[in-house]
Chain A
Amino acid sequence: MSERGLLEDALVYLGAAVVCVPIFARLRLGSVLGYLAAGCAIGPFGLRLVSDVESILHFSEFGVVLMLFLIGLELEPRRLWQLRGPVFGGGALQMAASGAALAGCGLAVGLTWRGALVAGLAVALSSTAIAVQTMRERGLLAQPVGRAAFGVLLFQDLAAIPLVGVVPLLAEGGAKSDGSGWLGLAKVVGAIAGVVVLGRYATRPLLRAIAKTGLREVSTAFALLLVIGIASLMERVGVSMGLGAFLAGVLLAGSEYRHALETDIEPFKGLLMGLFFIAVGMSIDFGLVARQPLVVLALVAGFTAVKLASLWLVARRVGLDDGPSPQGAMFAALLSQGGEFAFVVFGVAAEARLLIGDWDKRLTLTVALSMALTPLLVIAVSRWQRRRAPAPRAPDEIDADDAPVIIAGFGRFGQIVGRLLFASGLRATVLDVDPDSIDVLSRFGFKVFYGDATRLDLLESAGASRAKVLVDAIDDVTASLALVDLAQHHFPHLTIVARARNVTHWLELRRRGVVVVERETFDSALSAGRRALEALGVGAHEAFERAAKFRRHNVELLEELRGTDLDQRERTQRARAAREQLERQFEADRGELDRHAGDDWRGA
């Protein structure tokens, strides 16, 4: 960052984002375009508020790393395995098709065959940042087109590793191989193994120890440390940082700290991704556009057309374009841009004199403009789809991870609720704040997540907007009521099933409009009372009936109290009167049973 200092730079970025993004979102153009526009506005070709574009771009690429970590967190290894088709089938096909077509174009415009090959493969890569952000905003990630596109992006991340290695080898004047091919491979394998071991065995105990301290900022710091550490390790051995972070995410996807990690990382990811898009916007070289407008126009149009066509062919090949709602065009539009990775490759290739003259600048500009074009293409395709198929849209595929129930608080009370639900074949997302009990429960095969359910962001990532029922089984009264307030305000569709510690808590919950409230000791105490009656000689069924009657009577009394604002003395008086009334009722019941013992059906 320049002499002006960090805070002033932050002021510029945040200001530009806060002005541009809401406008573009309002115009339904998506946030990506908003950030890009903000970048154009403050960049060296706009208001010139920022100059050091390259270092910002490099720094903000870390946002992409965080994003891939978060995506990994949502993909358990089992579900990743299901993606192997799109990754290795679709991905390889796409790289081959797009790479060959684009390299051919490179040859046609006069690049050397080496330069054309490198440039063609580099621009065959798409931008994970742009594509995933766009899919997120449109809810496409869980749909077949989103999965296919994501599979291709993953393969591209893998393919990028050898690509950077190959560029110096292709350099004219012979390859300066350092003879470390096998050593390099060994390093990669070693690093990946390290990440697997770290993610599987070392991270959980550490997360647990940190959760026990109860210091939020420490857990945030650790989450960032984890991702940054793994990313740097991967970069050291020549694997893309994003791929390493993704792997770490996948390994932690099954862990009980998943939601807490998501909540901690999400804001950083959001800000850095925004910064990344701003940086791309700033790097658009409007000087070059002004000098060679026709060349630039031809390059962007040609590149986009060739890439769209090759992607569309891939989509047809993998069956995305079949069925009642063909998605080939959407797939092509989503992946139509060149990726951030191309910037790196162009730099290396120019240094190795594989790209001469203006070509690295021209290609960089083409890629940046193609990124800006993507949101517009996607909007166009979705309009076209809607016009072509006015029939009602097929229901969105429901994410298999969405449980219909959230249980907040998994102590003695919540556990019984949960076990009944599990035994009935229902999935529940369980949240608790006690690392010790989570540990024990995980051993019994429950899926429990660490986290404070009274935090809105955690509720959100636990799927509160899609769940049907929220079981509030938190034992702390204040926290329990806070959760009810939060849920009623933000997720009014949720049916709340609440645990009441005592009568006061019960009244508080009912006054908030919670319909289902159960006192934690009431029913078990009634059962004990029943058993005591039995022990005193009352028939088992008669004892059951008395307990049921007592229960109904008691709830009626509480409901009556709810509407009033009585002090303690009046409440006691009311309760005593009610008790006397119940006594009289029991007396009458007993009398009736005795009286009719001889001549009633019941006594017969």
Chain B
Amino acid sequence: MIVVVSAHPYPDRSIANRALTAAISELELVERRPLYDLYPDLSIDVEAERRALAGADVVVWQHPLYWYSAPALLKLWFEKVLARGWAYGGGRALAGKACLWVTTTGGELDAYADDGPHGEPFEAFAPPLRQTARFCGMRWLEPLIVHGAHHLSAAALAERGAEYRARLVSLGAREASADE
């Protein structure tokens, strides 16, 4: 089972995230946790989230990049759900699961450079999320990053959506065979 934890406060206004979500919405092996739909008032049902994660082989974090990090509700989700005694520090609930980071950025890839407006190459912003996953004992997979969400053509977006879908399908197949 793949659990997609997604966070976009205005899903009907997003372009890239909506395209990505649409591409995987029919997959049967996916359980979606659209956080802003589930908890519009930002009060997360921790028990329900943990129940969903318990059955997952793969955990996906899908979100637009806000201030070089996750949107507030996904950040809150890390704090509430991945708590001590459950995810670490005595708890190993997520250990051994695979973690896929899927994010979209408004800027182009070349804006992420030492002399670009963002001052660092894109890889510099990955460590906080990567280490969050690893600290909980999860395997960090090669992330799927969609740059330039504002400028991508519909065709290019569809292509990235198809790529996302293919990644999930192959992950699902691999995990299923590993279970046997």
Contacts and interface: CB of A to CB of B under 8 A. Distances in A.
Interface of A: 544-545, 548-549, 552, 592, 596, 599-602
Given A545-B43, A548-B43, A600-B83, 14 more contacts: A544-B43, A548-B41, A549-B43, A552-B43, A552-B45, A592-B83, A592-B85, A596-B84, A599-B84, A599-B89, A600-B84, A600-B89, A601-B79, A602-B79
A232 B53 CA distance: 77
The majority secondary structure among interface residues of chain A is: helix
Interface string B78-92: 010001110001000
Contacts, number: 17
11 contacts: A544-B43, A545-B43, A548-B43, A549-B43, A552-B43, A592-B83, A592-B85, A600-B83, A600-B84, A600-B89, A601-B79
A592 B90 CA distance: 13
Contacts of A602: 79
A483 to B, nearest CB: 27
A291 B43 CA distance: 88
A520 B83 CA distance: 35
Q: Give me the 9 closest cross-chain CB pairs, A-B, nearest first.
A: A548-B43, A600-B84, A596-B84, A552-B45, A545-B43, A601-B79, A602-B79, A548-B41, A592-B85
A211 to B, nearest CB: 40
A438 B67 CA distance: 49
A596 B84 CA distance: 8
Contacts of A548: 41, 43
Contacts of A549: 43
A596 B89 CA distance: 11
Contacts of A601: 79
Contacts of B43: 544-545, 548-549, 552
Nearest to A548: B43
Contacts of B41: 548
Interface in B59-89: 79, 83-85, 89
A600 B43 CA distance: 20
A601 B79 CA distance: 8
Nearest to A600: B84
Interface string B98-121: 000000000000000000000000
Contacts of A596: 84
A494 B19 CA distance: 29
Contacts of B83: 592, 600
A596 B87 CA distance: 14
A548 B47 CA distance: 13
A600 B85 CA distance: 10
B79 to A, nearest CB: 7
Contacts of B79: 601-602
Nearest to A589: B46
Interface in B160-178: none
A602 to B, nearest CB: 7
A599 B41 CA distance: 28
B70 to A, nearest CB: 15
Nearest to A552: B45
A51 B104 CA distance: 82
A246 B143 CA distance: 69
A14 B79 CA distance: 75
A549 B79 CA distance: 16
User: Max chain A CB contacts within 10 Å: which of B79, B84, B85, B89?
Assistant: B84
A424 to B, nearest CB: 15
A602 B43 CA distance: 16
B90 to A, nearest CB: 11
A575 B146 CA distance: 50
A548 B80 CA distance: 14
Nearest to B42: A548
A591 to B, nearest CB: 11
A599 B90 CA distance: 13
A601 B78 CA distance: 11
Nearest to B82: A601
